[in-house]
């Protein structure tokens, strides 16, 4: 049984750092169901593999919680260290920005104060994109903030003193005119903090090492799915799971029963014209074997691993396979996308748009979906504008106004439905 305990707040750690989703994800991880024989394996053999999966997920969940606790402690230290108004400054004047560690005023600032939430829109994946401007429509101060930076968003008074808990966000963009900043905030059902941003003074702090809510939740969910579905017959990666968590005799059993195959794929001279040595050709041939559950390619820098992977992916796609490429960093994924861009295959880069390199932005899911959605959005905005005009003209007629509001809600739902459909189409064709 895996138990991910609810994280207890320590001292002044703010409530906003632990989302309700964390607790929901933690509650979902329950005792594993009784294991039934899969792949024709003996029930005892399957139980032994499941026990190793349970042990692994239990250990990893404990490590995740330790890591999360450390992140929260560090985040609190960062929040405690954010710049505050100088006692010697004029208390009657609003403060537009603050600098850290007693830096001179001409230095770039880490905190912008007295921002107003001007508008909001829904970005891809349900993210709230909130546009902020400084009160009085002044230009933004010189700042260290840039797209992709993790920030803490809170309401404050005119002097920059904090009033509410932290909302985690990512800088989406800084306005070209220098007057605005857009932050992507997670959309959380029932979270009252978001609505409280409007009509209030807001400050945005650049926080190094801000506890990453989304990554924590995804890791918890991945462990839960591994434990519950790893050995289910419908899991397309069941042979991979059985190989990783089985022992030598389990791997031998899988091979004996033709469930896995560790041999090379016959290439029929396909690689002879390519500039690969024998070891690289063998690695490609092994990688193209569809029944091989796992392949590790190891080599020092500059030995051609990236080029080999590029060729392996291209061959797999030619054979009708769909390939998912992952890496420890966004930069590594972007590098692979760039390498594959001239191969002539349909690539979709999935991830937070602000974390994707500009050089491969045209391959990102957001860019592709937005391009396909452009005509629909144009028609959507036209209909919404017409309905709002009608609503302004009939505010005194409650029944008619209520009907128009319902039409606006239906229109918003149609946009979400079309977006979801377009995302599915783009991903299914990749």
252 and 219 share a domain?
Answer: yes
Whether residues 201 and 234 fall in one domain: no
In a domain, 131, yes or no: yes
- Is 328 part of a structural domain of the chain? no
Residue 245's pLDDT is 94
Residue ranges making up the domain that contains 124: 111-207
Residue 189 resides in a domain: yes
Does 196 lie in the same domain as 234?
A: no
Specify whether 383 is located in the same domain as 407: yes
The secondary structure of residue 16, as a DSSP letter, is G
**CA distances to 183, 220, 385 from 127, in Å:** 10, 21, 23
pTM of the model: 0.68
Q: Which residue has the tokens 């995804």?
A: 218
Q: Is residue 73 within 8 Å of 66, Cβ to Cβ?
A: no
Domain boundary among 192, 207, 222: 207
**CATH number of domain containing 144:** 2.40.30.270
The answer on 130 and 75 residing in a single domain is no
> Pick from 186, 207, 228: which residue ends a domain?
207
Q: Does residue 11 lie within any of the structural domains?
A: no
Q: Judge whether 15 and 9 are in contact, CB under 8 Å.
A: yes
Is residue 221 one of the residues assigned to a domain?
Answer: yes
Residue 231 lies in a domain: yes
Do 116 and 177 fall within a single domain? Answer: yes
* Other Cβ atoms closer than 10 A to 49: 22
pLDDT at 126: 64
What pLDDT does residue 83 have?
A: 59
Phi, psi of 301 (to 5 degrees): -55, 140
User: What is the torsional sign of CA 43, 44, 49, 55?
Assistant: positive
For residues 218 and 61, what is the distance between their CA atoms, to the nearest angstrom?
A: 12
**DSSP per-residue codes, 346-395:** ---B-S-GGGS-GGGGGGBHHHHHHHHHHHHHHHHHHHHHHHHHHHHHTT
Can you say how many angstroms the Cα of residue 288 is from the centroid of all Cα atoms in its chain? 30
Number of domains in the chain: 3
182 lies in the same domain as 121: yes
Q: Is residue 138 part of a domain?
A: yes
174 & 216 share domain: no
State residue 76's pLDDT score.
73
On whether both 29 and 72 belong to a single domain, the answer is yes
Q: Is residue 40 part of a domain?
A: yes
CA distance 338 to 362: 11
Mean pLDDT by 10 residues, the chain (430 residues): 32 41 48 58 90 94 89 74 56 51 54 86 74 83 82 82 78 85 73 72 80 79 92 88 91 88 82 76 90 90 88 90 90 92 89 81 89 90 88 80 86 87 90
Q: Compute the distance between CA of residue 133 and CA of residue 140 in angstroms, rounded to an integer.
A: 8
The reply to whether 54 and 115 lie within a common domain is no
């Amino acid at each position: 049984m895996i138990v991910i305990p609810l994280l207890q707040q320590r001292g002044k750690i703010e409530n906003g750092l632990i989302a309700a989703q964390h607790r929901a994800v933690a509650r979902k991880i329950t005792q594993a169901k009784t294991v039934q024989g899969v792949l024709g394996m003996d029930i005892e053999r399957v139980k032994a593999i499941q026990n190793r999966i349970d042990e692994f997920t239990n250990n990893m969940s404990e490590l995740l919680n330790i890591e999360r606790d450390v992140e929260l402690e560090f985040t609190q230290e960062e929040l405690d260290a954010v710049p505050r108004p100088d006692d010697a400054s004029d208390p009657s004047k609003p403060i537009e920005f603050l600098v850290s560690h007693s830096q001179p005023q001409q230095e770039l600032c880490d905190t912008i104060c007295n921002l107003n939430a001007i508008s909001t829109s829904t970005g891809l994946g349900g993210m709230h994109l909130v546009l902020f401007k400084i009160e009085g429509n002044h230009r933004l101060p010189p700042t260290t903030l840039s797209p992709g930076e993790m920030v803490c968003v809170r309401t404050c008074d005119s002097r920059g003193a904090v009033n509410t808990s932290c909302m985690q966000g990512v800088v989406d963009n800084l306005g070209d005119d220098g007057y605005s900043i857009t932050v992507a905030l997670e959309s959380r059902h029932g979270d009252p903090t978001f609505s409280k941003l409007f009509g209030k003074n807001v400050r945005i702090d650049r926080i190094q090492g801000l506890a990453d809510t989304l990554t924590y939740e995804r890791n918890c969910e991945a462990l839960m799915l591994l434990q519950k579905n790893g050995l289910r017959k419908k899991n397309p990666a069941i042979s991979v799971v059985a190989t990783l968590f089985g022992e030598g005799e389990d791997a031998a059993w899988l091979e004996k029963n033709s469930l896995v195959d560790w041999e090379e794929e016959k290439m029929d001279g396909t690689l002879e014209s390519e500039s690969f040595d024998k070891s690289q050709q063998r690695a490609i041939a092994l990688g193209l074997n569809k029944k091989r559950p796992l392949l590790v390619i190891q080599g020092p820098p500059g030995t051609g691993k990236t080029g080999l992977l590029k060729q392996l992916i291209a061959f797999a796609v030619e054979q009708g396979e769909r390939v998912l490429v992952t890496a420890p960093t966004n930069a590594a994924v972007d590098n692979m996308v760039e390498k594959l861009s001239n191969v002539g295959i349909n690539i979709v880069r999935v991830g937070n748009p602000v974390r994707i390199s500009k050089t491969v932005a045209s391959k990102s899911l957001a860019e592709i979906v937005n391009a396909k959605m452009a005509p629909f959005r144009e028609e959507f905005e036209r209909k919404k504008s017409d309905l709002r005009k009608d609503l302004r003209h009939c505010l005194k007629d409650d029944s008619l106004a209520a009907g128009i509001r319902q039409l606006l809600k239906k229109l918003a739902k149609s946009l979400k439905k079309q977006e979801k459909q377009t995302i599915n189409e783009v991903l299914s064709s990749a």
